[in-house]
Amino acid sequence: MSCSLHLLRPVGRAHRARLEQLTRGAGLFRPEEVATAVELLDESLAGDDDYRFVGAFDGDQLIGYACWGPTPGTVATSDLYWIVVDRGCQRSGVGSQLLKDVEGRLTADGRRLVVVETSSRDDYDATRKFYEARGYTRAATIPGYYAPGDDLVIYTKDLTPGDLARTAP
């Protein structure tokens, strides 16, 4: 498997098992979280526009993916739900390539704010550093959210050249 920059394209039905394998193989997610990732893909493939996927491919092999969607009840805010990269390709630029692509799509769609939720666990340290290194700001922490001692850490990134604190027209 080559872990250099890859062709990004939609994730389809044929990639469902591989998406599940990648998510489980990341070693970070509980079984119910893996099931959620697959469920979101199923919903996306069934036409639910709330969940969008892009995959990084080595030939026909899915080696990473991102999932995002609009945040209900907001003005142009989006949630980035998942970026998962094959363990053998982590730290090779695939995650950065996926994130840059998602941010480009969001900007083209007129989205203004990206929200990322992650864990405070030690095994998520690289994940938090990944977002921080790419301009995401730690906006909030909710203690014990996932489990005792496992806080929710929320990151945001402004995709507009303006100021998010501005008053709406």
Q: Decide: 58 and 2 in contact? Cβ < 8 Å.
A: yes
**pLDDT value for 56:** 96
Chain centroid to CA 142: 19
Look at residue 140 and tell me if it is in a domain. Answer: yes
Look at residue 64 and tell me if it is in a domain. Answer: yes
Range of the domain at 85: 7-158
Look at residue 168 and tell me if it is in a domain. Answer: no
Say how far apart CA 109 and CA 112 lie, in whole Å.
Answer: 9
Look at residue 164 and tell me if it is in a domain. Answer: no
Give me Rg for the CA atoms of the chain.
16
Say how far apart CA 46 and CA 23 lie, in whole Å.
Answer: 20
What CATH number does the domain containing 56 carry? 3.40.630.30
**pLDDT value for 1:** 61
Look at residue 152 and tell me if it is in a domain. Answer: yes
Task: Identify which of 107, 100, 30 has the alpha carbon closest to the alpha carbon of residue 64.
Answer: 100
Look at residue 72 and tell me if it is in a domain. Answer: yes
Per the structure, the count of domains in the chain is 1
pLDDT tens for the chain, residues 1 to 169:
677 656 899 999 999 999 999 999 999 999 999 999 999 999 999 999 999 999 999 988 999 999 999 999 999 999 999 999 999 999 899 999 999 999 999 999 999 999 999 999 999 999 999 999 999 999 999 999 999 999 999 999 999 976 655 555 5
Look at residue 60 and tell me if it is in a domain. Answer: yes
